[in-house]
A and B are shown apart, each in its own frame.
Chain A
């Protein structure tokens, strides 16, 4: 892999940028692999990268039905934070945030990670009590955070409406300065490039149609391009997890729902942080290009159509205009939906399964993007060593039978 640098940019400028090395190869699949990763989104590619980098397992293929990073990785609002309430979740997301902090250097690829801070607003007394509890829990876990007043919020985001006369007045917020945003595509591409350089095969336009088993253990996957053998199969297929699990005769406690997002026309810089509100239910940040990136809630009902309901868009836009009256004149440019697989406790599943050599990393629901590096890191460790990584142990699928749930619903400022 040729490294990117100011020098390489200059050198390639001399040949009109026509001779850049391909970012990854496009190999023909081998007959078998040590590990096959089903799903070439951010989490799958991160898993492949850490398998090769940390565990030295390079005989790995990532099998993707479309193109790399073309599913939910391309469809989210790129918010990164780690201010979760419960210890298990906080530690997992904080590991991820720490990996984000060095990721561009690690991958030699600019993931445009911008620690512009995240505000989670409170609009009533119970919101504020929950925020204080969560910030205290975060600080005990070594995660930065503070409770801020409306006046301080106004300093951070001057366009926000903190009037006491608004329908849902802002009473305060939690503020995590280390949170922020990153460039979603770059994360997938950076991990893919890094993994490819270490020998991982990226097999695109190949859909897994079955998981072949023998004597209770995985032997490979059936694909639209034929059978590929593998000792281990790791499934990281987000909204399609339930369907992939069914191929192996496994049931997952996930339900798939559409989550929408939208961007406005590009405007001049006006918001240099991320603002989220559970009570009025919307979140907004501004991309480097100038678009306002706005997130919505999930549709209330199950669905696999990659689009959402109009009433959800309406509610979200209402919320954003409530918080930022100035945005009422901004036109929306595009709107889209992705399918999220939500667990009953709003926490992911990172787990071995009842089939030997079959692993699942799914159920990230509405907030998987921020966890991309940490998810890949602990999942790679789980797959490589055939036992849960210490931080992944609590996210075992068994918790839905033992009752040891990690109930982040609402607790984490999770905007659903």
Chain B
């Protein structure tokens, strides 16, 4: 069971209060109609899926009902930091 620190509620809460939102920092293309099929497919489906440091979105559905980002190690499951959307992570790994 993960204990996740919500940067909006400023509290550690149990994993079950949250939903996973997948990889963070994926920018939606500004002009989707001008993309090739490869670029659009990459945006939709291809994720980094690293073994190690991963920046990912979480949604605090049972609390503040807001999204935030977390930096988590996908091998040890240690959550290294959480930060609000729009800011950059402090911790980055080679794979991130």
Contact = CB atoms under 8 A, between A and B. Distances in A.
| A and B assemble together | yes
A300 B77 CA distance: 13
Nearest to A256: B49
Interface string A241-276: 011000000011111100000000000000000000
B2 A309 contact: yes
A301 B47 contact: no
Contacts of A70: none
B19 interface: yes
Interface in B9-23: 15-16, 19-20, 22
A403 B19 CA distance: 27
Nearest to A300: B20
A302 B57 CA distance: 11
A255 B49 contact: yes
A253 B47 contact: yes
A303 B41 contact: no
Contact of B16 (A254, A311, A402): A311
A251 B44 CA distance: 13
Contacts of A305: 74-77
Dominant SS among interface residues on chain A: loop
A4 interface: no
Q: Is the interface of B mostly helix, strand, loop or mixed?
A: mixed
Contacts of B56: 301-302
How many chain A residues sit at the interface, stated as a range, is 20 to 34
A165 interface: no
Interface string B25-53: 00000000000011011101111010100
Nearest to A341: B49
Nearest to A345: B45
Contact of A254 (B22, B38, B49, B74): B49
A309 B49 contact: no
B27 to A, nearest CB: 17
Interface in A293-335: 300-305, 309-311
Top 4 closest pairs, chain A to chain B, by CB: A401-B41, A253-B45, A301-B20, A300-B20
13 contacts: A243-B51, A252-B46, A253-B41, A253-B45, A256-B51, A300-B19, A300-B20, A301-B56, A301-B72, A302-B56, A305-B76, A309-B2, A401-B40
Given A400-B45, A401-B42, 17 more contacts: A242-B51, A243-B51, A254-B49, A255-B22, A300-B19, A303-B75, A305-B77, A309-B1, A309-B2, A310-B1, A311-B16, A344-B45, A400-B46, A401-B41, A402-B41, A403-B37, A403-B41
